[in-house]
Chain A
Amino acid sequence: MKKRDLKKIGQRAYSWLYILPGLIGVSVFYVLPFGFVIYYSLIDNISTRNFVGLDNFKALFQNSAFLTASKNTLTFSLVTVFSAVIFSLILAVILDSKIPGKSKFRTMFLSPLMVPTASIILIWQVMFSFNGSFNSFIELFGLEPVDWMKSEYSQIVVALLFLWKNLGYNMILFMAALSNIPKDQVEAAEVDGANALQRFFKIKLRYISPSLFFVLLLSLINSFKIFREVYLLTGQWPYETLYFLQHFMNNTFKNLDYPRLSAAAIVMSLFIIVIIGIIFILEDKFGKDVEE
């Protein structure tokens, strides 16, 4: 008995060997330097290194560039996350029905994921410039042309690019969830006279809720990563409503302002951790009764 226990402990220890190489790398490049990040956020600058408490955080929340960037990022996220969830769910429902050519459609919906953004921004530029295709299109309906990339609508143009790229991925997650819904329950409800909408909200939605929360989280995080598309579309200096947090960070990197950089990184990571926490709690509340 004792020998077996020892063997078990040995096996447990051995299994750590597999984790170790990755864990060391993650610690060195992601976790341990965060200690420096915390330290830098509390000092005035890297040469004098005077302890200033939370002054860097106070300064950050008074910095107009940071505030603009946060506001833009949050409005963008709010709009895109909800449209991403709704539209990808619609796509998944369409592909879950018995339409012909399903696999072809899936390939087409998923393909933007694999097209490098840098390759297709030319098309976006042609479509949304002042004398581009989209303006010709809306002029047909008697609307005034807009210089999309240099107006308050610029976020919409970027949001379209974001949705174009991300819907397919979310759709796959939803499709998997939809196919896991027990058929007998749906049929039983059908016999009981529940209509399609009732069936969707009362039964299906409950079963896809874990995926729903995952897609919500994923889209939110992806919307924070929107800088890439904006940079490729407009370069380092976009129209004001397209000035996002990554732009702010890039400029702070350029000035090598470590304390501000660190304070901003901490604020943002706390924000994301809070969001992850909220999603976890929500998932616990809604997903409990359907867990296998």
Chain B
Amino acid sequence: MKRKISRAKILKRTRITLFFIWALMFAFIFIMPTLFTFTNSFMSETELTSTYGAVLGNVSGGSSYMSESVKLKLIPDMVSFRQYFTVLFQSPEYLLKFWNSMILTLPIVAGQVCLAALSSYGFYRYRGKVKNVIFFAYIVIMLMPYQVTLVPNFLVSDMLGIIGTRWAVILPGLFAPLSVFILTKSMRRIPVAAVEAARLDGAGEFKIFRKICLPMCKNALYSVVILTFIDNWNMVEQVLILLDNPELQPLSVFLSEINTGEVGVAFAVATIYMIPPILLFLHGEESLVEGITYQGSVKG
């Protein structure tokens, strides 16, 4: 009997050790690209060109078929801040694109979350057939890829005459239904007793919304902020079709051009670009996880 227990224990330990090794391997793969981008941003232009020149930076001449092989290098030979200086103080176009990203993303995040909070409260209170149908329609719209949704977006923006302005990207973005889905699901977890008690105390609907529902969905709200931020910070499809003015385009689209043109600063710009979402993530990871969890299943 005793031997059997210890054998089970050994088995369990081996399993955990194996799992741990797997986890380490996955962890390495998962952080590697981010880590390399970060460390490589401290390489000087000369070092970058000599390290990656054969792959990046030369569109002409077919030199990418040169026989020398290019390896990713984690640690720069010499740490240089020169490229950050160039990006931040000498070439306004990068900062301008960064600003473009901000001015598209922030209004969408703020607007979408406020509208979604209101809508979700509406969906949460007094559920009926019509509301359920509308909520289901929201789920279907949420699941439609840009290939589909951009067509109606484009037609309306065309009628309103806002194609090529920031509004063409911001306005449809305000009403993307993902936030409504997550927030409604999280409100449905609020105990009915809490709302009923407030009602018996004479609180009106708006007070219940503000004083009970919003505070109880704090984590879901934060996670929706993070998710909409990263989704729009990353935007490409909408911009290509609705905002073809290069001067107004965000950094997400512009980065792919820098990558082929100016290897020297590309890693530095890429690093600056990932700072805002990473900070948000590190600060709100718990809320983000909770918010994702609320989605649970497709069913309303």
Interface residues of A, Cβ cutoff 8 Å to B = 11-12, 14-23, 25-26, 28-34, 36-37, 90-91, 94-95, 97-101, 105-127, 129-133, 135-136, 164, 167-169, 172-173, 175-176, 210-211, 213-214, 217, 221, 224-225, 227-228, 231-233, 235, 245-246, 249-250, 253, 261-262, 264-265, 268-269, 272-273, 276, 279-280, 283, 287
Contacts and interface: CB of A to CB of B under 8 A. Distances in A.
B285 A232 contact: no
Contacts of B175: 22, 25-26, 29-30
B292 A164 contact: no
B285 A107 contact: yes
Given A97-B16, A164-B30, 6 more contacts: A26-B175, A29-B175, A95-B23, A115-B34, A131-B69, A283-B298
B259 A245 contact: no
A133 B139 CA distance: 42
B144 interface: yes
Contacts of B131: 19
Contact of A100 (B20, B30, B31, B54): B20
A18 B148 contact: no
B248 interface: no
Contacts of A106: 289
Interface in B194-230: 205, 209, 226, 230
A11 B127 CA distance: 12
B128 A273 contact: no
A247 B233 CA distance: 21
B230 A34 contact: no
B1 interface: no
A264 B151 CA distance: 10
B256 to A, nearest CB: 5
Nearest to B271: A119
Contacts of B267: 122
B298 A214 contact: yes
Contact of B33 (A101, A123, A136): A123
B236 A11 contact: no
B187 to A, nearest CB: 11
B69 A114 contact: no
B49 interface: no
Contacts of B273: 116, 118-119
Interface string B105-130: 00000000001101101110110100
Contacts of B36: 123
Contacts of B252: 116-118, 232
Contacts of A16: 122
Interface string B70-99: 111000000000000000000000000000
Interface of B: 15-16, 19-20, 22-23, 26-27, 29-34, 36-37, 40, 52, 54-56, 64-72, 115-116, 118-119, 121-123, 125-126, 128, 131, 134, 137-141, 143-156, 171-172, 174-175, 177, 180, 205, 209, 226, 230, 233-234, 236-237, 240-241, 251-253, 255-256, 259, 266-267, 270-271, 273-274, 277-278, 280-282, 285, 288-289, 292-293, 295-299
Given A29-B175, A110-B285, A173-B295, A125 B259 contact: yes
Contacts of B29: 164
Contact of B277 (A114, A132, A213): A114
B297 A19 contact: no
Nearest to A264: B147
9 contacts: A18-B125, A22-B116, A110-B289, A119-B271, A126-B72, A210-B296, A214-B298, A221-B144, A276-B139
A117 B33 CA distance: 10
B interface: dominant SS: helix
Contact of A122 (B37, B68, B116): B37
B55 A99 contact: no
A102 B126 CA distance: 41
A176 B186 CA distance: 14
B16 A111 contact: no
B298 A11 contact: no
A231 B145 CA distance: 16
Given A30-B153, A114-B281, A249-B150, A120 B34 contact: yes
Contact of B148 (A28, A101, A265): A265
A133 B70 contact: yes
Given A11-B126, A164-B29, A250 B241 contact: yes
A21 B273 CA distance: 33
Contacts of B144: 221, 269, 272
Contacts of A22: 115-116, 118-119, 175, 180
Nearest to B152: A33
Nearest to A35: B152
A86 B143 CA distance: 21
Given A253-B241, A262-B151, A131 B174 contact: no
Contact of A97 (B19, B180, B295): B19
B67 A221 contact: no
Contacts of B64: 129-131
A217 B143 CA distance: 9
A123 B151 contact: no
Nearest to B131: A19
Contacts of A172: 289, 292-293
Contacts of B22: 90, 94
Interface-centre pick from A31, A99, A124, A268 (highest chain B CB count, 10 A): A99
Contacts of A111: 30-31, 34, 278, 281
